Chains A and B, each alone.
Chain A
Amino acid sequence: MENKIEVRQFNFYYGDFQALIDLNVPIRANQITALIGPSGCGKSTFLRSLNRMNDTISIARAEGEVLLDGKNIYDADVDVVDLRHRVGMVFQRPNPFPQSIYNNVAFGPRVLGTAKGSSLDDVVVESLKGAALWEEVQDKLYEPAQALNPGQQQRLCIARAIAVQPEVILMDEPCSALDPVATLRVEDLMRQLSKNYTIVIVTHNMQQAARASDWTGFFWLGRLVEFGKTGDLFTNPQEELTESYITGRQG
């Protein structure tokens, strides 16, 4: 199976503190990879290393390789703006811009100059459909995004992310602010999206990882303790630490 992203010997530091230690992670194309582990284990830091959002932190430093389609994204000749276009992100808290629903989705294509006029309309409609939100918002595209409920807002954020047609979507605990019904809708949506996108999701919710992902990586104190098929990892963990974590005895 093809690896969309291949992380090799990756180390990450905040100043003197080493947040990620010797990581080797394969991210399969068109599959959902879940990252689990206790708070502070480095899984969110790892996620943000995949589109270099950590660059905005001045004391942060990365070593090693993150190969996206075989090309190290930390190479000097990589344009980080272009990288983020290819590797999109959905955040923990639903965070639509304080603008209309339409403008939220249109923002990415507008700044990238990928669509204008009626083709921009098409992109907005397709993205909202892709995020399973179109039915609910088709009559109020020009109303403020803040009027939507949190679950809808999060799907709007997903629509906004896919509007720029990324190859990979990173999701940082996308359901932690949502109720169970909205959570299931987002999980269904992830399944739909994985046909066209490679998805990496960080989650605190182990049922979610078990339900919604193909591959799972378990992080502990900055290290990747175990990585494998989600079914295998949850039913037959190879490491004692993994087992005690997923059974709730540790962490």
Chain B
Amino acid sequence: MTRQQSQKVATVLVTAVAIIVILPIFLVLVYIFAQGWSALSWEFFTQPPRNGMTEGGLLPAILGTLFLTLGTAVASIPLGIGAAIYLAEYAPNNRLTRLIRLAIVNLAGIPSIVYGLFGLGAFVLFLNFGTSILAGSLTLGLMTLPVIISTAEEAILSVPSEFRIVSLSLGATRWQTIRNQVLPHALPGILTGIILGLSRAAGETAPILFTVAAFYLPELPKSIFDQTMALPYHLYVISTQVPGMPLQIQYGTALVLLLIVLTLTLVATVVRTIMRRRRQW
């Protein structure tokens, strides 16, 4: 085979691989849209489920998922960015730092059900928060932390060191340098990590299983110590636990969950694009 021939074969192969990778995502989207589209209605978004969840809407589950995502954000963003700043800007290259990095990598690899069990033991029982939005948010936050830390650290490290050196040479302190020259430039990357982490948290079932999710709770939560319904768990329930559930509602629920997660991802992409365009180096 000549070099030119092998070049052609390689092009065909990698193109085929790319298509094979994209195809399942595309099929899932099309299938869920086709099956769930007809379930969408005003009532579906604004009413609680009725009649053993076989009728009505998803309002408590949608709001529950939004509350949990918000709680996850509060629990994970300050800690995550703080840890990333420490690792990127302050941490000396020693055994402790290596241990922290190792821990973060491993944290990212822990199965989500293990987070769920840990949340049950630590937040629900030991700290006595009960099955609550607080416990669920903390559990999801813990799960989201490694994603935020690693993406934020990478974003911070990608800011040219020149800006730091100039800033220091002008008499700025290390923190002023980070606050005024590093973080603004790292923001697009940090935001992307945050939103990707949150969109994953919004779709997870296992971590909220024992910590917050209610099987059926048509009333909306009144405080962070209340339970709430949430879309992923609700979908799990109506797909496996409720006999005679109309398929249409199951797929409609899946579609709503998908839409929320996709919207978050889309927002991340748009924000990143806009901010990158403003960047001038």
* Contact between chains at B168 and A111 (CB < 8 Å): no
> B92 to chain A: which residues have CB within 8 Å?
58
Contact partner of A111 (CB less than 8 A), chosen from B180, B185, B279, is B180
User: How far is A121 from B162 in the complex, measured between Cα atoms in Å?
Assistant: 26
State whether the Cβ of B167 lies closer than 8 Å to any Cβ in chain A: yes
Contact of A146 with B170 at beta-carbon distance under 8 Å, contacts A107-B180, A111-B180 already known: no
Contact of A164 with B171 at beta-carbon distance under 8 Å, contacts A98-B279, A98-B280, A107-B180 already known: yes
Contact partner of A89 (CB less than 8 A), chosen from B169, B172, B185, B281, is B169
Q: Interface on chain B toward A: helix, strand, loop, or mixed SS? A: helix
**Which of A107, A160, A164 is most buried by chain B, counting CB atoms within 10 A of its CB?**
A107
13 contacts between A and B (CB under 8 A): A81-B172, A85-B170, A85-B171, A88-B171, A91-B166, A95-B163, A97-B166, A107-B167, A108-B171, A111-B167, A146-B280, A160-B170, A161-B169
List A residues at the B interface (Cβ < 8 Å): 51, 53, 56, 58, 81-82, 84-85, 88-89, 91, 93, 95, 97-98, 107-108, 110-112, 144, 146, 157, 160-161, 164
> A89 to chain B: which residues have CB within 8 Å?
166, 169
> B167 to chain A: which residues have CB within 8 Å?
97, 107, 111
* Contact between chains at A144 and B171 (CB < 8 Å): no
Task: Please give the distance in Å from A84's CB to the nearest CB on chain B.
Answer: 5
Contact of A111 with B169 at beta-carbon distance under 8 Å, contacts A98-B279, A146-B280 already known: no
> B168 to chain A: which residues have CB within 8 Å?
53, 56, 84
User: How far is A117 from B109 in the complex, measured between Cα atoms in Å?
Assistant: 51
State whether the Cβ of B114 lies closer than 8 Å to any Cβ in chain A: no
CB under 8 Å from chain A, chain B span 253-281:
279-281
* Contact between chains at A56 and B170 (CB < 8 Å): no
CB under 8 Å from chain A, chain B span 160-180:
162-163, 165-173, 176, 180
* Contact between chains at B170 and A95 (CB < 8 Å): no
> B163 to chain A: which residues have CB within 8 Å?
95, 97
> B172 to chain A: which residues have CB within 8 Å?
81, 107-108, 111-112
> A112 to chain B: which residues have CB within 8 Å?
171-172
